[in-house]
Amino acid sequence: MVYVPYQDSKLTMLLSSALGGNAKAAIIVTASRSRGQAPETIQTLRFGEECSAVQNTATGSVASAVASLLKELDERIAALQEKIRSQERWVQVTTTRRDFDAEKNEYVDEVVVTTEIVGAEDLCQELEILQGRRRELTNSKA
Kindly state the helix (H) or strand (E) to which residue 14 belongs, with its residue range. Answer: helix 10-14
Residues near 127 by beta carbon (within 8 Å), at least 6 away in sequence = 77, 80, 81, 84
pLDDT at 19: 61
Pinpoint the alpha helices (H) of 19-117. 38-52, 62-87
Kindly state the helix (H) or strand (E) to which residue 110 belongs, with its residue range. Answer: strand 106-118
**Contact yes or no for 107/98 (Cβ under 8 A):** yes
81-120: per-residue pLDDT in tens? 999 889 888 888 898 988 888 888 888 888 888 888 888 8
pTM of the model: 0.45
CA distances from 108 to 94, 96, 98, 113, 129 (A): 16, 10, 6, 16, 43
What phi, psi does 130 have (nearest 5°)?
-65, -40
Q: What is the mean pLDDT of the chain?
A: 81
CA distances from 20 to 3, 61, 63, 64 (A): 10, 14, 19, 19
